[in-house]
Amino acid sequence: MPGLYKDEGIVLKTIKLGEADRIVTLLTRDTGKVRAVAKGIRKTKSRFGARLEPFTHAHLMIYKGRNLDTITGVDIVDSFDAVRRDYLGLTSAAALVEVVEKITLDREPSLSVYTLLLDGLQALASAPGPTIVPAFLVKLLSVSGYHPQLTVCAGCGDGTVLAGFSPSLGGAVCESCWREDRGALALAADRIDLLNRLLDSEFGHAADAGAVVEVTRALRAYTEYYLERPLKSLQLLAAG
């Protein structure tokens, strides 16, 4: 039913609508992913100003409509301007919001995903380290029901030497299963160990640059396989 509601949310993306409006995609704390119109936001004297830019964390007043909701009020909690001043911070934040936008369903609240995204953006604003994105990805996959197998072979269950990563099988694989799966990536045991450490630790874990690129590439392939959608923002981070 239509009606006015309050929530807090993070802006995932915006697209133009008509001559002066935008459709804003938000991940909200209590309602989940919401698409809402910000009317007149592209006008010079818009009352919204720059308060609905991607990454912004805000308190919101929203009117629930039949097709699209309408944003009627915005109070910024944190604009996360710091992540926009740094190339790594900007590209990393773009990767975080893109994968969240694609992995979440409309109006299905998930406090764990919302809190994880907020923590990830705060980590980027504090110190945009190269392991924040892969750490975020492996944590997000885990809380979203796509937890990758990282301790034994996802193909045969062998717990000895892991030598690859298979999106189709669901995680780390032994050398035999890696060779049999054309879609599997070579991923050394120390890289798989890094994935385990990123999953279990706070953001900002130190790691070799080459290892970060490899685990990010594996996580991107895994996420795209299950979502059946490309993740464009991860291309630069996973390219090395």
pLDDT in tens, 49-71: 788 999 999 999 999 998 899 99
Domain boundary, last residue among 44, 61, 81? 81
For 161-176, the pLDDT digits (tens) are: 999 999 999 999 999 9
Number of structural domains in the chain: 2
Mean of all residue pLDDT scores within the chain: 94
Domain boundary, last residue among 58, 81, 104? 81
Which residue from 185, 234, 179, 113 is spatially nearest to 171, judged by alpha carbons? 185
Q: Please tell me the distance from the alpha carbon of residue 130 to that of residue 90, in angstroms, as a whole number.
A: 12
pLDDT of residue 44: 66
pLDDT, average across residues 212-224:
96
Task: Give the residue carrying structure tokens 């690129």.
Answer: 213
- 175: in domain: yes
76/136 same-domain check:
no
CATH code, domain with 62? 2.40.50.140
- 109: in domain: no
- Above 80 in pLDDT, residue 240? no
- 185: in domain: yes
- 222: in domain: yes
133/230 same-domain check:
yes
* Model pTM score: 0.95
Q: List the domain range (segments joined by +) for residue 180.
A: 129-239
pLDDT of residue 83: 95
- Above 60 in pLDDT, residue 158? yes
Q: Work out whether the CA dihedral 115, 87, 201, 96 comes out positive or negative.
A: positive
Write out the two tokens for 17: 């609508």
- Above 80 in pLDDT, residue 46? no
pLDDT of residue 2: 67
- 20: in domain: yes
pLDDT > 70: percent of the chain? 98
- Above 90 in pLDDT, residue 6? yes
- 124: in domain: no
pLDDT of residue 50: 82
Domain boundary, last residue among 81, 96, 116? 81
CA angle 31, 123, 199 (to 5 degrees): 80
For 115-134, the pLDDT digits (tens) are: 999 999 999 999 889 999 99
